[in-house]
Structure 1
Amino acid sequence: MTPNPTAPAVRVRGLTVVYKTPMGELPAVSNVDLTLAPGTITGVVGESGSGKSTLALCLLNAVQSPGRIAAGSVEIDGLGDVVELGGEELRRARGRHVGYVFQAAQNSLNPLKTIGKQLLDLGRSHGVEDLRALVRDAKDLLARMGMDGARVLDSYQHELSGGMRQRVGIMLALVLNAKVVVLDEPTTALDMITQATILRIVREVHDERGLTTLVITHDVGAVAEVADNLAVMYGGRVVEHGPVMEVLGSPRHPYTRGLIRAIPRLSGDISLARALPGRPPTLGTLPAAGCVFRERCDRRMDVCDTVEPVPRTRDGRTVACHAVDAADADADADAGAADRTPTTARRKEYA
């Protein structure tokens, strides 16, 4: 899609998040660079424990103890570096500038208050003067998501289904007109029809409101439905990033290929689906040096044991892999040899 110039860009640079453990401070996110282009939807995929949700929380500067942002910045147009914000300034940024839909929608709602009362609390906490207009906007958003706004606002969270609570979470993230929206696992534990509805709503609201959106998920199929760009995380690193259909259509990193190969098939040869060998690393088993994926990689090289691969960008795709670097170098050498004319070759020979 064409980026919306009125939407803000988000630039994550050198972001490192550590958690205090009995073994010391261990990185959950390590030196991540990621840009969310204005007006686009960026999906982040990876196995559980890859650092996806921790990365998302950094957009709110909401990493809780025993975790902390140890290095890096999260710059949002019109807001500045979120990592540097604190106190009242940070509280106002949450909701006003950055909306967040949490992974377990029911856990983010107060079971003792109706949705309407929680909406009014949200408005008052951000200094909204026209609360009636806020309620009208909320009802309109809920109606656009296929629900009776008045009934929902008069309900407690236990009176709503999982899909309805998820839509309420989206409404609360958008009702203050935030321009950056983070959705953490928006389709988890929902049936297929509700998943499709939620994804359609995400895409429609994103386009109509001119948002910059980050979608965290483990569902590659969901990302393919809504995202413009895709970042693949493993062991706290972004190992591949690029346009979603290019990454899914011709994955370059061995981990991305393994994720796609592991997707269950409903037709054709179902035996082609193969699980990734081994297990994803935990904070305590992340290697101190070298590539974090090497123990599960079918393209492992000697350099992978000691040197961490540096993310390199080529043709709009960013990949962090020694094997891909070697293949690119060979391709460049072959292209150079093919382009060299006989005259040029003789000049080099006698130079």
Structure 2
Amino acid sequence: MTMNATRLLRRSRAEAASSGSPSGAAAGAHRPDPGPPPGVRVRDLTVVYKTPLGELPAVGGVSLTIAPGTITGIVGESGSGKSTLALSLLNAVQPPGRIAGGSVEVDGLGDVLRLGGDELRHARGRHLGYVFQAAQNSLNPLKTVGKQVLDLGRSHGVDDLPALVRDARGLLERMGLDGARVLDSHQHELSGGMRQRVGIMLALVLNARLAILDEPTTALDMITQATILRIVREVHKERGLTTLMITHDIGVAAEVTDRLAVMYGGRVVEHGPTMDVLGAPAHPYTQGLIRAIPRLSGDPTQARALPGRPPTLGTLPARGCVFRERCPLRMEVCETTEPPRVAVEEKTVACHAVAARREEHA
């Protein structure tokens, strides 16, 4: 850490000691109350990527509502559009991709897709916190964690930098780390689980109200994974956040989320309360994902892999149902018509077969 950063860290320790409070107790004290957790409303979001075949949709007309104060999970195979959707919430899709249509309304911010320049930069961090899939990608290998906290504070115009460092240290200690040591460390001096927790700290230290976690447990051992999931739940509750978690692991989603959206081919095919989606899946893709989970007990042959392969940008059908090539319930209408959204109790399901069954029982 630079001499300036070291002085600020020492000052934050001294202030915490003189106040008789633990280092994390004053978290957020130098900033006004950020208010209640925001709701998010994604409407008809379309994201395309420029390819030799033209612009192809990675996210196609997605609509999704995230209730304030909830943890919503997005699951699906690799290439289903999960991370692209998450980046769209920050208006951070990079070329050759672009957001071609739709809106992302966040309470207190308005339509994020209409923000630009300094307004968008300040929204990221102050309102929207993002934890990247590979934690090391969010860390500068040439700077200590403490120096990066200071850089973050300066870029967002934080006046009380010692208090910001104190907040960072308190968050790290809340997550079971030696805050002072981590702030003095470079990326290569930290384990994968420690870097993941540093990523969570950097996403939250400016009191962001919407936390977006992209595969927060990827490549971590089971014990570290369980620790990260516990931290996610506790920080979400204690800080009063709205949280979106991207994952390919249904077990992770079942552990922490309140609601679950299942994506395939850039579409949301099923969405509802997590226990309803996992306990009584209605879409054949959701059923296939759950059927493919290996069992720790009983007959291991009960696990069945989904047939075929997930589509790529170049193989996504231009019309009809994107799942039809792998679907056991395929119907003639699936070839030409986009599936309607059907209400099944508290869930919405985009499937012609489900819609046909609903009509039969109406």
CA distance in 2, matches of 1:314, 1:277: 26
Matched, 1:91 2:115: no
CA distance in 2, matches of 1:109, 1:10: 28
Residues 132-168 of structure 1, C-alpha deviations (whole Å, 9 max, x = no match): 1111111111001000000000000010000000000
CA distance in 2, matches of 1:220, 1:233: 12
Would the aligned equivalents of 2:342 and 2:354 in 1 still touch at CA under 8 Å? no
How far is 1:268 from its partner? 1.1
Q: 1:12 aligns with which of 25, 36, 42?
A: 42
Aligned residue-pair number: 328
- Where does the alignment leave 5 or more consecutive residues of structure 1 unmatched? 333-351
Please state whether the residue corresponding to 2:213 is helix, strand or coil: strand
Partner of 1:179: 209
How far is 1:310 from its partner? 1.9
Percent same amino acid among aligned pairs?
Answer: 79
How far is 1:114 from its partner? 0.3
- Where does the alignment leave 5 or more consecutive residues of structure 2 unmatched? 1-34
Q: 2:135 aligns with which of 73, 82, 105?
A: 105
Amino acid at match of 2:68: P
CA distance in 1, matches of 2:146, 2:340: 49
Q: 2:187 aligns with which of 157, 182, 196?
A: 157
Partner of 2:352: 322
CA distance in 2, matches of 1:290, 1:216: 26
Q: 2:272 aligns with which of 242, 253, 267?
A: 242
CA distance in 2, matches of 1:100, 1:230: 19
Kindly report which structure 2 residues correspond to 1:32-47, keeping only aligned pairs within 5 A, or say none.
32-47=62-77
CA distance in 1, matches of 2:48, 2:342: 24
Partner of 2:236: 206
How far is 1:308 from its partner? 1.1
Matched, 1:301 2:345: no
Partner of 1:147: 177
How far is 1:312 from its partner? 2.4
Partner of 2:94: 64
How far is 1:313 from its partner? 2.5
CA distance in 2, matches of 1:116, 1:179: 22
How far is 1:330 from its partner? 1.1
Would the aligned equivalents of 2:72 and 2:245 in 1 still touch at CA under 8 Å? yes
CA distance in 2, matches of 1:132, 1:305: 61
How far is 1:108 from its partner? 1.3
Q: Please report the TM-score for the alignment, with normalisation by the length of structure 1.
A: 0.93
Amino acid at match of 1:112: L
Q: 2:196 aligns with which of 151, 156, 166?
A: 166
Q: Please report the TM-score for the alignment, with normalisation by the length of structure 2.
A: 0.90
Kindly report which structure 2 residues correspond to 1:247-262, keeping only aligned pairs within 5 A, or say none.
247-262=277-292
Residues 319-339 of structure 1, C-alpha deviations (whole Å, 9 max, x = no match): 00000001111121xxxxxxx
Residues 22-44 of structure 1, C-alpha deviations (whole Å, 9 max, x = no match): 10000000000000000000000
Partner of 1:284: 314
CA distance in 2, matches of 1:253, 1:129: 51
Q: 2:155 aligns with which of 112, 125, 128?
A: 125
How far is 1:311 from its partner? 1.8
Amino acid at match of 1:36: I
Please state whether the residue corresponding to 1:93 is helix, strand or coil: helix
Matched, 1:311 2:311: no
Partner of 2:14: none
Q: 1:193 aligns with which of 223, 231, 241?
A: 223
Would the aligned equivalents of 2:343 and 2:349 in 1 still touch at CA under 8 Å? yes
